[in-house]
Amino acid sequence: PPVVAPAVAAPAVIAALEASVAGLAQVGPVAQVDPAQVDPVAQVDPAQVDPVGQVDPAVVDPAAPVDPAAPVDAAAEADAATLALTHAAPEAPEAPEAPEAIEAIEAPEAPEAIEAPEAFEADAALAHVEPIPISPITTSFEATSHGLQSLRTAVINDGGVPLPGNLDQFVRDREAAIQLGKALFWDMQVGSDGIQACASCHYKAGADGRTKNQMNPGLLRFANKRKDNVEGYFDAPALPDKDFDTKAPNESVVRSDYPFVKYLNPVGDQRNSNDITSSMGVFLTLFKGSVEARPVDWGQRLEDSLFRAEKSEDPVYMASGNTIRRVPPRNAPSTINAVFNFTNFWDGRANNEFNGQNPFGQQDPNAKVWVLRGDGSVVQESIVLKDASLASQAVGPPLSHFEMSFGDPDVGNARTYPEIGKKLLRGSTPIVPLGQQIVDPYDSVLGELSMSPSPGLNIEYRQLVKAAFRPEYWEFDGRFELDQAEISPELTAGQPIVETIEATSTEATSTEASSDDAVDELSTYGEYLTDPDPLTDKPRFTHAEANFAMIFGISIMLYESTLVSDETPFDRWMETGVLDGEFGATELRGLNVFTGKAGCVACHTGPELTNATVRYALDEIIEPMPMAQGFALYDNGFYNLGVTPTTDDVGRGGKDLNGKPIAFSRQALFDRLGVQNLEFPIMGNETVPNAGELGNMVCTDGDADGFCDSGTSIVPEFQRVAVDGAFKTPGLRNVELTGPYFHNGGMATLKQVVEFYDRGGNFCDSNLDDLSPDIHPLGLSEAEKEELVAFMISLTDDRVRRNEQPFDHPQLLLPTDGFQDRLDRLHDIPAVGATGGEPLTRFLDLDPQDSIFTPEGVCSNGAAPHL
């Protein structure tokens, strides 16, 4: 396959690494290794091996710990027994002489070229690109020529993680803001039901590993109506799939369910499930208002026609009716190392620039915050915090009627951030932060505030807000009348606006809301309150409540910015150049597969092992690229890999709330070609390179600055956007612990991920308009696959595995059944202090080298399912 030219290491990096490996260079880096230290795959104890990484040249999906309460599946146990017989470890070879160790990592003979099908023979220019020979990596210094680096070294050299340069305009005490952010992230009271926290979907290595009621049937599917090369599927009508294929609602997934795409020989039975392994959220409930100092919002439970099941447990302890918790339509990516991402969410809709209100940055001109001036007046101002995608991401889920919030989208009913702020900040006896959860007294952030052995913190949320944020964002003593659709204040200093709930609540009606099966309830601690009237004659929102989206987003961003995983065996080797039992000869051979034959490094590059980062956005946000067919502009770090048909999920090709593209490359062409009038700054529009990777012209560069400025026309050859069905490239650290993988959670082990890439993807033909050029058969041997998986295992940080500082956390009570809505029925994840606790397990406790089932054939010869 074509190989990307090796990157040239920066002089400073070279100097640092030369110093660190100077001694090794004199004696021969690998040849002098003590054979007893070398760790070939054949000698690895499978019980000790901890898989860690996805091959994914673009989108490997981290997301899920194992539910300890899940029932054991007999069929899965039988499958595991079969696996043990068919994948027995070979006998350990005799230890080689030291000089022969170098032979283990010499470049393998190039495989015979695989003839591409007609579908891939689109461009003569591409066919004549000669691969650049790659020398084998034998030292950590040589690895830098591929753009690789210790993440810890990179962060030190950068002066810290990427954060907004104007952060101090909003935050006056970062440590207090981190405390506030960690409390809010883990607090179950943030959810409308008093159960769903942000952490509920990100509690295990930053992801979710539950196995029951985790299925979405494919609600993001749309009609196969592609317009042209610029608009693509942008306006294709929605065609949600409401049929569950893999598992019925509230059933548990097992080993044999994966992968979701199967092709069986010799019968030729094609099977493809477009279901998604995701994370269960809230029950469908009409939102009626928040209640100050109460963990649960006021709501009316509705009958859900899709997420429903028959009870299998004692109904006394379960929710009424057959409605179960809803499940969002994408797998939950890890929050660890997410601070390095230029944008967040799988589709990147969490904009790099935080506007203080929602995920869409400057694309939403109505997003403003309230600022108190020196003369006592209050004004609305637009704010922009660059490199704050974590804040943009944080404000999304708490308002989602799938994830954390009551609300009925069919009637325009939704919760707002001021309502969340009122619940958490207001009251003569306000809500206790983490008031339903124990906080370890040795928690690295919250320990000094812990009330252990009692639940909660010994401080109020409003005290933390005042300590963390500048007073101009919370100090005004008036009240704000805020509409759901827009913020329309009526302010008189010192004279709060007083309104009744009847005047301000959404008057929503629906057949479900009025049905006999609907339950009007407010439940907490097993208690049900009927028809409470907590909002009548209460003032609307305080200054801090009105700005609570900004407060929430920035606080959680600062907490998540501390979740940096950079102490892996691979990072240690990159710093010292010394092979050991955790990064030995096997892992080194896997690294050579990663950078060479498999080509993973083309997308999983740099210190972060992804190019969807702030670091890479400094060079190119919008990139011209040769595609599987032709040429196109695309958003750097987002790729269509053929995991699922493009029409299952448009991904990066989607829209914001105002119907505008979220993809910067589509925005640029829409603007230049007059498809839409975009009245906001387009990221990367001034720095589109004037030449593609093959040197072909992208525009006429009038000022010869190397870029196609926004007023410059793009040549017809590049008037094409490749973003539909594309998803963000995740980093690979700790990927061993974050299965199932990809945006759809459709693969359960790292070996399945490797085999997906080796066969050239799943849907290369049907996705050809947007398919990444790196998706083609690789021709990996079985040994190379195993070595590649072993390399990814070396990307696990033991601090993450054991929840050690900074990955320690408060107690979390977690639903493991779709009917559960009472605290005393939830799975208890104990609080963990700075020194950590029990090690995390892999998804379904599967061996990362377990193929489970490998679809036959490869995309190049038409044998794989092209549905």
Task: Please write the tens of the pLDDT for every residue from 217-247.
Answer: 999 999 999 999 999 999 999 999 999 999 9
> Omega into 409 within 30° of 0, i.e. cis?
no
Predicted local confidence at residue 378, as pLDDT:
95
Do residues 481 and 496 lie in contact, with contact meaning Cβ atoms separated by under 8 Å?
Answer: no
* Rounded Cα gap, residues 350 and 207, in angstroms: 18
Please give the single-letter amino acid code of residue 51. P
Average pLDDT of the residues in 51-58? 38
Non-local (6+) Cβ contacts of 497 within 8 A are 478, 479, 480, 481, 490, 491, 539, 540
Q: Identify the band that residue 718 occupies on the pLDDT scale cut at 50, 70 and 90.
A: very high
Predicted local confidence at residue 531, as pLDDT:
39
Predicted local confidence at residue 313, as pLDDT:
60
- Higher pLDDT: 176 or 123? It is 176
Q: Identify the band that residue 853 occupies on the pLDDT scale cut at 50, 70 and 90.
A: confident
Token pair belonging to 243? 């049929």
Average pLDDT of the residues in 260-264? 76
Token pair belonging to 124? 């003569």
Largest CA distance in the chain: 85
| Chain centroid to CA 398 | 16
* Residue 612 domain boundaries: 11-161+567-802+842-861
Percentage of the residues of the chain whose pLDDT score is greater than 90? 69
What are the residue ranges of helices labelled H in 120-221? Answer: 124-127, 140-143, 151-158, 174-186
Domain co-membership, 622 together with 509: no
Establish if 40 belongs to a structural domain: yes
Average pLDDT of the residues in 322-335? 97
Characterize 374-384 residue by residue with b for buried, 16 or more Cβ atoms within 10 angstroms of its Cβ, and e for exposed: eeeebeeeebb
Residue 587 has pLDDT above 80, yes or no: yes
* Rounded Cα gap, residues 406 and 296, in angstroms: 10
Q: Identify the band that residue 296 occupies on the pLDDT scale cut at 50, 70 and 90.
A: very high
Predicted local confidence at residue 320, as pLDDT:
60
Average pLDDT of the residues in 346-369? 97
Predicted local confidence at residue 498, as pLDDT:
24
Do residues 263 and 861 lie in contact, with contact meaning Cβ atoms separated by under 8 Å?
Answer: no
Token pair belonging to 315? 């109904």
pLDDT in tens, 623-680: 999 988 899 999 999 999 999 999 999 999 999 999 999 999 999 999 999 999 999 9
* Rounded Cα gap, residues 764 and 770, in angstroms: 9
Domain co-membership, 65 together with 196: no
Establish if 17 belongs to a structural domain: yes
* Rounded Cα gap, residues 860 and 318, in angstroms: 51
Establish if 210 belongs to a structural domain: no
How many residues are given for the chain? 867
Domain co-membership, 522 together with 409: yes
Residue 23 has pLDDT above 80, yes or no: no
Domain co-membership, 521 together with 611: no
Do residues 263 and 857 lie in contact, with contact meaning Cβ atoms separated by under 8 Å?
Answer: yes
Domain co-membership, 654 together with 553: no
Characterize 173-190 residue by residue with b for buried, 16 or more Cβ atoms within 10 angstroms of its Cβ, and e for exposed: eeebbbbbbbbbbbbbbb
β-pair type (378-381, 407-408):
unpaired
Domain co-membership, 474 together with 591: no
Percentage of the residues of the chain whose pLDDT score is greater than 70? 75
Average pLDDT of the residues in 811-830? 95
What is the total count of domains within the chain? 2
Domain boundary residue, one of 514, 537, 560? 560
Average pLDDT of the residues in 558-569? 99
- Higher pLDDT: 61 or 792? It is 792
Domain co-membership, 474 together with 403: yes
* Rounded Cα gap, residues 657 and 363, in angstroms: 9
Non-local (6+) Cβ contacts of 705 within 8 A are none
The domain that holds 714 is classified in CATH as 1.10.760.10
* Rounded Cα gap, residues 243 and 218, in angstroms: 8
* Rounded Cα gap, residues 598 and 605, in angstroms: 13
Picking from 197, 105, 148, 107, the residue whose alpha carbon sits closest to that of residue 10 is 148
Do residues 609 and 62 lie in contact, with contact meaning Cβ atoms separated by under 8 Å?
Answer: no
Domain co-membership, 522 together with 589: no
* Rounded Cα gap, residues 725 and 640, in angstroms: 5
Residue 523 has pLDDT above 80, yes or no: no
Residue 254 has pLDDT above 50, yes or no: yes
Q: Identify the band that residue 863 occupies on the pLDDT scale cut at 50, 70 and 90.
A: very low
Residue 528 has pLDDT above 90, yes or no: no
Establish if 392 belongs to a structural domain: yes
Predicted local confidence at residue 540, as pLDDT:
87
What is the rounded end-to-end Cα distance, in angstroms, of the chain? Answer: 25
Domain co-membership, 502 together with 629: no
Token pair belonging to 300? 């009316």
pLDDT in tens, 531-560: 333 433 345 899 999 999 999 999 999 999
- DSSP class of residue 301 equals E
Residue 117 has pLDDT above 70, yes or no: no
Predicted local confidence at residue 506, as pLDDT:
28
β-pair type (285-289, 298-301):
antiparallel
Non-local (6+) Cβ contacts of 674 within 8 A are none
Establish if 821 belongs to a structural domain: no
Do residues 564 and 155 lie in contact, with contact meaning Cβ atoms separated by under 8 Å?
Answer: yes
Number of H helices, E strands in the chain: 20, 20
Residue 108 has pLDDT above 90, yes or no: no
Q: Identify the band that residue 502 occupies on the pLDDT scale cut at 50, 70 and 90.
A: very low
Picking from 245, 281, 56, the residue whose alpha carbon sits closest to that of residue 818 is 281
Residue 347 has pLDDT above 90, yes or no: yes
What are the residue ranges of helices labelled H in 701-852? Answer: 750-758, 782-793, 798-801
Domain co-membership, 603 together with 723: yes
Average pLDDT of the residues in 390-400? 98
Average pLDDT of the residues in 298-324? 80
Domain boundary residue, one of 526, 543, 560? 560
Residues 452, 453, 458: CA angle, nearest 5 degrees: 35
Non-local (6+) Cβ contacts of 665 within 8 A are 622, 623, 633, 634, 635, 684, 721, 722, 723
Predicted local confidence at residue 310, as pLDDT:
87
Domain co-membership, 153 together with 173: no
Which residue bears the tokens 């993809």?
663
Residue 800 has pLDDT above 50, yes or no: yes
Written in H, E and C, the secondary structure of 62-94 is CCCCCCCCCCCCHHHHHHHHHHHHHCCCCCCCC
Predicted local confidence at residue 106, as pLDDT:
42
Establish if 410 belongs to a structural domain: yes
Do residues 357 and 85 lie in contact, with contact meaning Cβ atoms separated by under 8 Å?
Answer: no
Please give the single-letter amino acid code of residue 468. A
Establish if 808 belongs to a structural domain: no
**Helix, strand or coil, per DSSP, at residue 853:** coil
* Rounded Cα gap, residues 709 and 724, in angstroms: 24
> Rounded to 5 degrees, what are φ and ψ at 448?
-70, -15
Following DSSP, what letter does each residue of 339-385 receive, concatenated?
GGBSSBSTT--B-SSB-SSSTTGGG-TT--EEEE-TTS-EEEE---B
Picking from 639, 137, 692, the residue whose alpha carbon sits closest to that of residue 346 is 639
Predicted local confidence at residue 618, as pLDDT:
86
What are the residue ranges of helices labelled H in 456-568? Answer: 461-468, 501-504, 543-546, 548-560
Domain co-membership, 131 together with 192: no
Characterize 607-627 residue by residue with b for buried, 16 or more Cβ atoms within 10 angstroms of its Cβ, and e for exposed: bbbbbbbbbbbeebbbbbbbb
Establish if 241 belongs to a structural domain: no
Domain boundary residue, one of 560, 580, 603? 560
In the predicted model, what is the mean pLDDT of the chain? 82
Average pLDDT of the residues in 692-709? 92
